[in-house]
Amino acid sequence: MDETAIKIDNLTFFYNADEESGEAPEDVLAGVSLTIEAGSFVAVLGHNGSGKSTLARHLNALLLPKGGSVCVFGMDTRDEELTLEIRRRVGMVFQNPDNQIVSNVVEEDVAFAPENLGVPSEEIRKRVDEALKMVGMYEFRDHAPHLLSGGQKQRVAIAGVLAMRPKCVVFDEPTAMLDPQGRRDVMDIIEKLRREYGSTVILITHHMDEAARADRVVVMSDGRIVMDGAPRQIFSRVEELEELGLAVPGTVRLMWELRKKGMDVPLTALTADECAERLAEHFADR
């Protein structure tokens, strides 16, 4: 039987209103239910303010539900005694690598979290080396993090999370501040995590091409889940996505425009190669 990694049941959340204004706080999450199987790769899309980062912060008990519940590998995040155990299972990678780096030496930075979790020092050494190799930063282990590029820093931050050996990693817009090479490196690490460790990956992103690589895409709007399905299925709903302030991958947009002009081409081509092949077939077919 497939193990359930995350089970969210009717989750509601609001940030406490500032007392001066006296306004009632608005729900940032307004009844979210979502179950994620262990080992799956789920992308979460949504416009700014749709609640996706707030949702992410519930997955390792950085935020606690105001209503409903979040269970992580069977552990309820509201149970404070389980917080440490939950954070051991679910690692978080954030947007800005500068805010995630704490040490002056790369390998010390990666060792920071396992040290806090009380992992024995020999085991830490092993884990740090493995995590740094995993993200391709082993040869930088004695460098100073602040002298690295943004993409390299983000890889170090990811290594720091991997050194905790989490079963699930939540990436909250990990590539937003990176250049194309940095973005590719992060996406490659995600693939590797899945392939080699079978980790559960939850990726919050604005990049449709990144979401297209997931098994499942969840779309949020105004604190609710409004779409949930395979990338191919979700990206075929071009007009609905646009109404939500989202875009579709450029290749899907192209196919959609061509179909509007009466060309009989398939709608959902998720990569440049697939798109070109479908178009070539169309023009070869007489």
Q: How many residues bind another protein (CB under 8 A)?
A: 40
65 interacts with another protein by CB under 8 A: no
The 155-174 site mask, x for binding another protein (CB under 8 A), equals ------------------x-
Span near another protein by CB under 8 A; candidates 111-119, 155-163, 225-233, 267-275: 267-275
Stretch that binds another protein, among 9-17, 157-165, 232-240, 246-254 (CB under 8 A): 246-254
Q: Should residue 257 be labelled a site residue for another protein when binding is judged by CB under 8 A?
A: yes
49 touches another protein (CB under 8 A): yes
Contact between 192 and another protein by CB under 8 A: the answer reads no
189 near another protein, judged by CB under 8 A = no
**Which one of the spans 60-68, 124-132, 215-223, 268-276 is the region binding another protein (CB under 8 A)?**
268-276
Count the neighbouring beta carbons within 10 Å of the beta carbon of residue 207. Answer: 18
Q: Does residue number 105 form part of the binding site for another protein (CB under 8 A)?
A: no
Mention every residue, 6+ apart, whose C-beta is less than 8 A from residue 227: 217, 218, 219, 234, 237, 240, 241
The residue from 91, 114, 166, 249 that contacts another protein (CB under 8 A) is: 249
Told to check if 275 binds another protein by CB under 8 A, we report: yes
Instruction: Tell me the torsion sign for CA atoms 24, 25, 29, 31.
Output: negative
3 vs 273 by CB, closer to another protein:
273
Nearer to another protein, 195 or 286 (CB): 286
